[in-house]
């Protein structure tokens, strides 16, 4: 009886040890680690991605700066145009001149 | 500079265009004057205006509706000094036919007629109060000058003068359009319009009393003004005509207070320049 129980425990322990070993082998930790650290294409891609992200941020800042400059220039231009138009409108449509007349106005 | 003149609307029309060739535009301009005279003349029994005055209401052309709207605006902006409902007052004073046919002297004129009857424009339908008739002589030449200037400007910078009511488009190479206001005074016009109103022409006598064609709507009689002639500048020829007439009727004191751009000739022979023209 005692030897049966001992055998049963030994069998269960053996099966458990087998599955643990199986899981360990299936996880394949040594293979993944070596791939990440060793594949030069992935390393290059990762480095390139980071470089592009940095360049993208830099380009966005540059665009924002130039857009702000353009808006300031446009606002200045519009202000100058409005001022010029106001001057033109304020200028009298007629003034006394010394030119020989082209036509005469009279009571019609 | 191409120049062309012809008779229309009871006066001489002069067209000036700074262009090498503008015969097509000049021809179109002359035709447009004739067409607008057939719309606005009170002396042509078949004109649209005569039909409106007879019937009291009319489904009019867009042109007649436009010019009547201009007249209503002018009445509002001058607080009634300019009023197109002076037709019967003009007739009563003796100006009942084209001016060339008005007798220079004749028996007494009729009693002054009422002015200021109601006028309504809905779309192109014009309705007059009973007994109200319109005279567009005070605004029609300026209206026509503006229309024709727009046509003529296709050929180049131009000036249209309808008996002295002037519209310009663009500026000539000399920099301005020189317009003689009197023997001593010339104004250079660069945009807008210029017009002259006064009592020194279009005068006649009834029973020994001098009459002229500028009716004061408040009295229904020829205006008794201390001004003899007013030349006014406006944003266009219509505005200039309205301004000149209303300044004339209002008199010198009111003109000095308003200080609108104008040249005033008083009955005692003084020339006064207002509105910063000098």
> What's the pLDDT at A24?
87
Residue B248 CA to residue A19 CA, distance in Å, equals: 117
**Res. A59: pLDDT tops 80:** yes
- Enumerate the β-bridge partners of residue B252: none
pLDDT at residue B181, rounded to an integer: 93
Rounded CA separation A16/A13 (Å)? 5
Is pLDDT above 60 for A34?
no
The tally of domains found in chain B comes to 1
What per-residue confidence (pLDDT) applies to B215? Answer: 85
Q: Give the residue-averaged pLDDT of A54-80.
A: 93
Q: How far is residue B229's CA from residue B195's CA, in Å, rounded to a whole number?
A: 11
B189 shares contact with chain A (CB less than 8 Å):
yes
pLDDT of A13? 94
In this prediction, residue A105 carries a pLDDT of 87
In this predicted structure, what is the pLDDT of residue A90?
59
We report the CATH number of the domain holding residue B11 as: 3.10.520.10
At B223, list the tokens: 């205006």
Cβ-defined contact of A103 to B200 (cutoff 8 Å): no
Closest chain B residue to the Cα of A100, Cα to Cα: B178
Predicted pLDDT at B214: 84
pLDDT digits (tens, 9 = 90+) for A3-18: 888 999 999 999 999 9
pTM exceeding the 0.90 threshold for the entire prediction: no
How far is the alpha carbon of A92 from chain B, nearest alpha carbon, in Å? 7
**Token duo for residue B175:** 């920099």
Q: Do B174 and A99 touch (CB under 8 A)?
A: yes
| Predicted confidence pLDDT, tens digits, chain B (278 residues) | 999 999 999 899 999 999 999 999 999 999 999 999 999 999 999 999 999 999 999 999 999 999 999 999 999 999 999 999 988 888 887 777 787 777 777 777 677 778 888 999 999 999 999 999 999 988 999 999 999 999 999 999 999 999 889 999 999 999 999 999 999 999 999 999 999 998 877 777 777 777 778 888 888 888 888 999 999 999 999 999 999 999 999 999 999 998 999 999 999 999 999 988 87
From the list A103, A107, A106, A93, the residue with the least C-alpha distance to B178 is: A103
pLDDT for residue A107: 79
B176 inside 8 A of chain A by CB: yes
Does the distance separating the beta carbons of A95 and B188 come in below 8 Å? yes
d(C-alpha B175, C-alpha B181), whole Å: 18
Q: What is the ipTM of this complex?
A: 0.76
Provide the residue range defining the domain that includes B189. 2-274
Searching chain B, which residue's CA lies closest to the CA of residue A105? B164
- CB-nearest to A93 from B189, B197, B201 is B189
Q: Determine whether the interchain pair B178/A97 forms a contact, defined as Cβ–Cβ distance below 8 Å.
A: yes
Determine the Cα–Cα distance for residues B268 and B249; give it in Å rounded to an integer: 16
B51 to each of A7, B43, B48, B115, B119, how far by Cα in Å? 129, 11, 5, 19, 15
Q: What pLDDT, on the 0 to 100 scale, is given for residue A37?
A: 64
């Amino acid at each position: 009886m005692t030897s049966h129980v001992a055998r049963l425990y030994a069998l269960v322990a053996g099966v458990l040890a087998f599955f643990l070993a199986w899981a360990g082998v299936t996880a394949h930790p040594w293979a993944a680690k070596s791939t990440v650290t060793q594949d030069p294409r992935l390393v290059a891609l990762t480095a390139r991605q980071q470089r592009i992200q940095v360049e993208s941020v830099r380009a966005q800042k540059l665009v924002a700066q130039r857009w702000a400059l353009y808006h300031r220039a446009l606002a200045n231009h519009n202000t100058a145009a409005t001022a010029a138009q106001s001057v033109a409108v304020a200028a009298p449509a007629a003034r006394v001149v010394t030119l020989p007349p082209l036509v005469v106005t009279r009571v019609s | 500079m191409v120049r062309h003149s012809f008779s229309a609307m009871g006066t001489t029309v002069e067209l000036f265009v700074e262009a090498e060739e503008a015969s097509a535009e000049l021809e179109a301009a002359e035709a447009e004057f004739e067409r607008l005279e057939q719309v606005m003349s009170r002396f042509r029994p078949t004109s649209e205006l005569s039909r409106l005055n007879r019937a009291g209401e009319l489904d009019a052309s867009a042109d007649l509706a436009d010019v009547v709207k201009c007249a209503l605006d002018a009445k509002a902006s001058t607080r009634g000094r300019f009023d197109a409902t002076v037709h019967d007052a003009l007739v009563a004073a003796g100006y009942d036919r084209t001016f060339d046919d008005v007798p220079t002297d004749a028996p007494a004129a009729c009693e002054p007629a009422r002015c200021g009857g109601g006028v309504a424009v809905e779309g192109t339908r014009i309705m007059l109060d009973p007994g109200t008739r319109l005279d567009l002589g005070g605004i029609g030449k300026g209206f026509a000058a503006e229309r024709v200037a727009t046509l003529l400007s296709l050929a180049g910078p131009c000036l249209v003068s309808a008996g002295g009511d002037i519209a310009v488009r663009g500026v000539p190479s000399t920099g301005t359009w020189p317009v003689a206001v009197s023997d001593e005074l010339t104004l250079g016009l660069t945009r807008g319009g210029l017009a002259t109103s006064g009592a020194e022409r279009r005068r006649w006598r009834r029973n020994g009393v001098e009459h002229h064609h500028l009716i004061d709507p408040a009295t229904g009689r020829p205006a008794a003004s201390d001004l003899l002639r007013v030349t006014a500048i406006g944003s266009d020829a219509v505005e200039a005509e309205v301004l000149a007439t209303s300044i004339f009727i209002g008199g010198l004191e009111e003109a000095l207070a308003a200080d609108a751009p104008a040249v005033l000739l008083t009955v005692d022979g003084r020339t006064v320049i207002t509105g910063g023209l000098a």
